[in-house]
Every structure is written in C-alpha cells, then in structure tokens.
Chains A and B, each alone.
Chain A
Amino acid sequence: MDIVLIDYGAGNLTSVVKGLTAVGASPRVVTQPEAAAGADAFVIPGVGHFSATASLTGAWTTTIREAIDRGTPVLGICLGLQWLFEGSDEADDVAGLGLLPGRCFRLSGNVKVPHVGWNTLDAGAARESRLLAGLPAGASAYFTHSYAAPVGAASAAVTTHGVPFASAVEAGRTFGVQFHPEKSGTTGLRMLENFLAVVREGR
C-alpha cells in the first residue's frame, strides 16, 4: 500500500507519519508531484496559515484532481481539509481545490481562538461515514485551529466552537478532518485505520 504524504512546507509531519505507522502503513513523504506516481492514496496534512497551501497550486492540484477522478482515496488533515474548499478568508488571494462548496472562515463568538483542545464530533449530513465507522456519536478529537470550513452536505461530523463548522467531510473517496487524528488517541487511530481500510478495498 503506497500512501503518499504530501510535504508542501506547511509544518511538521513527524506526528502524522507516526500515526499512520502505528496503524500499519508505511507512508512515503513526498515533496514533488512527479514522485507521487502510482500512489494508492494521498494524505494532505498541514498546520498554520492558509497561504501555505499556495504551494499546492499547479502540479499538485492537477495530480490530486486526477487522483480524485480515478477514485484514489485522499485524506486532508487540518489545513488539508480546508484546502478541499473554495478558499479561506485567511488568505483571499489563494484558491483552494474547490471540490467542496464554500469558503473557510475565522471562528468567532464568545470563545477563545485558536480553538485548542478536545471537542466532540456530532453527526453531520453525510450518512454512514466510512471514516467514522465504529466510533460513537460525540466521540472526542483533538483540535488546534483558528479557521474552519462551513457545514454542508459533505459534512460527516459537525463540531461547535462559537459557531458550528465541518469537523469531518466525506465526498466519495475524498475525506477531510479538521482535528488531528494522529493526536486524538485511540479515536484518532481508529479513523486512520478506517482510511486505510478504504484504501485497501479499492486496490
């Protein structure tokens, strides 16, 4: 199973590698799209500012779009989930992939931002989520972010911090999580296992 972890310069990938390794994968950290040929799945990690996703514009975007069209599983984590949408108020001049409708927005309300800590995953509109299979509604996951994606038809889980946002999305074989499964204890490892199960069934 060739899991490609895209290193586009948005933060530290050590924990994501460890998480995937713990559930039996041997992820390959790749910086250039040419090196991703033959991948069975893509993981798009990322922490920090939305402008960092500008490095995904161009060749990576083409590679990922083609992969999604072929049905190759894709998992976006944190900034990787946000990038699946049209863009973000955090960086007006940087376009997202646009696979999912809407723009990411800054969290607000009578709450502290960034949203840091464990919060619950409530049921979203997307039914029978494969990513969340086996997890009870209201399971806790670890978040750390200031911007978030809008709730929509693809939302597999919704979390509220001041306002509700999409904490997990699922469209075909493309998945996204706003939290960090690699830092969410056994709940997070279960989601990574579920993702690998999707990758396996499609090979």
Chain B
Amino acid sequence: MLAKRLIACLDVRDGHVVKGINFEGLRTAGDPAELAERYNREGIDELTVLDVTATLEGRRALLDTIREVSRRLFIPLAVGGGIRTMDDARAIIDAGADKVSLNSAALADPSLVTTVARVYGSQAVIVAIDAKRGEDGFEVFSRSGTSREARGAVAWAREAADRGAGEILLTSIDRDGTRTGFDCELTAAVSDAVPIPVIASGGAGTPEHFADVFLTGHADAALAASIFHFSEHAVRDLKTFLDARGVPMRLDW
C-alpha cells in the first residue's frame, strides 16, 4: 500500500537553514547538508529545500547547497523558491534536485509548468500554492504571500494539474508557522479536486495535526520544518504514532 509521506522542509537563505513565522522574522536553524543527512538516517520520506529570499547572490549559494545536500541524500529532493524560467529549473535539476517547485512564476506564466514537464517529466514538477481564507473562499497569493491573485486555490490546482504538474504543494498562509494544525478544510478541498498528489503544508505542531491532515484533509503527504529540525518529535516516533492511527507509513529504512 502506498504510504503517506512525511517531508522535511529546509528553508534556506544564503546557504543556511532558517524558518519564518508567517513568512517573516527568520531565524537560523542549521547547516542544510548536515540536516539532510540526519533526516536520511532518521527515516524522513523526502526533503524540500526552499530558497526563501532568492536574491542573485543567494541563488549561487543555493546551487552549492543543492549539490552538497544531494550528494548525501538518497531520497527524493525537491527545490523551490525564486524559480522564474526554464533555465532556473535546469540549473537546479542539474545541481541534483529531482523536482522543482514553481510558485509565482507559474501564476504569471502557467505555460512554464508545461515547458518544464515536457523536458523533465511531470514527476519533476511541483506547483506550489500559497492559499489564505478570504471572502471569496480559498484565495491564492504570490510573491511570498504578498500579492493576491485573481483565481482561487481549487481552480488553480486543477489548472496546474491539467498543465502537467505532478504534485501540488499547498501551504496555508493562515497556519504557516503558527503550530495550530494544518488547514484540513483547504487541503481536502484541493486534494479532492485534483487527480495528482497533494502535499499539505503550514501549521504542523503536534503528531495529532499530522493524523488530522491525512485522515480528514486527504493529504497524500505532509510537509513541516521546525517540528523536525529541533528534534521535538523524532521522525520514527511520529511515524509510529501515525501508523497506529491507521495512516499507512514507511517504517523500514
């Protein structure tokens, strides 16, 4: 049976891992390659490196980070943040990433999803959607949550899947960094609407939150950062807990 995935997210700025609260107030949390190796050993199912600032200097540091991380990692590696063009995607995949995560650039030019998928396959393309509850339902925001888009989260997820995305990474801006639980309603709305896997993100604080997002949010994978980084809950403990709750987990590694 297909296991639900636990994905550790490393928010990286200038080669260092940081983690923000609601995308603001970043603080340093460690060396990415060291964390990657630890996760590999501890049984995390996948790793995502998110370049949170994506300046020109930061980008060169990012490619070095990807090379360093992928050298020691034999589980899937996704990279997102500031990928604007096919050339950006190529550089990141050449450095050792298995998947690229497209966000603002895909909203600005949805054909980028298809362009990257045609060259590297749909399995290499994640469309990241930052969503927030608003008067019109689940609204989509680009540029690190600062700019509101015209389309809703469900409609955009459907379009992304039609255009060749292999997975959706769905982040709740309302919950990100709050540790109050994933937005299960948002996750279920998107997951039930698309044929491709949905990764839920934003709000993980307790093992119970993961059980909720898998069982009621219909998530295929859940992504978190700080809950893993500071060893508050060892990956194995979390997996054992979820397995006992009836969530299929990979327990051999």
Total interface residues in chain A, CB < 8 Å: 38
Contact indicator per residue, chain B 69-99, by CB within 8 Å of chain A (1) or not (0): 0110011100000000000000001101010
- Which of B5, B195, B252 lies in contact with A117, CB distance below 8 A? B5
Across the interface, do B120 and A11 meet the contact criterion of CB distance under 8 Å? Answer: yes
B123 A117 Cβ-Cβ under 8 A = no
How long is the Cα–Cα vector from A117 to B170 in the complex, in angstroms? Answer: 17
Across-interface contacts of A160 in B (CB, < 8 A)? 1
Contact A15 B75 (CB under 8 A): no
Which residue of A12, A111, A184 is within 8 Å of B2 (Cβ)? Answer: A111
Q: How far is the CA of A119 from the CA of B4 in the complex (A)?
A: 9
Residues of B within 8 A of A189 (CB): 74
Q: Which of A31-39, A55-63, A67-75, A136-144 binds B?
A: A136-144
Instruction: Check B209 for interface membership: any CB of A closer than 8 A.
Output: no
Q: Give the residues in chain A near B5, CB-CB below 8 Å.
A: 117-118
**Residue B139, interface by CB 8 Å:** no
Among B2, B5, B195: residue with most chain A CB under 10 A:
B2
A97 to B163, CA, bound (A): 31
Where the two chains meet, the residues of B that have a C-beta atom closer than 8 Å to any C-beta of A are 1-5, 40, 45, 70-71, 74-76, 93-94, 96, 98, 120-124, 166-167, 195-197, 220-221, 250, 252-253
The 9 closest A-B pairs by CB, nearest first: A48-B121, A144-B123, A118-B250, A47-B121, A140-B250, A118-B3, A119-B2, A116-B197, A185-B253
A-B contact pairs, 26 of them (CB 8 A): A12-B98, A15-B70, A15-B96, A15-B98, A22-B74, A47-B123, A48-B120, A48-B122, A112-B195, A112-B197, A113-B195, A114-B166, A114-B196, A114-B197, A116-B197, A116-B220, A117-B5, A117-B197, A117-B221, A140-B250, A144-B166, A182-B74, A183-B98, A185-B40, A185-B74, A186-B74
Which residues of A are in contact with B by a Cβ distance under 8 Å? Answer: 11-12, 14-15, 18-19, 22, 47-49, 111-120, 136, 138-140, 142-145, 160-161, 182-189
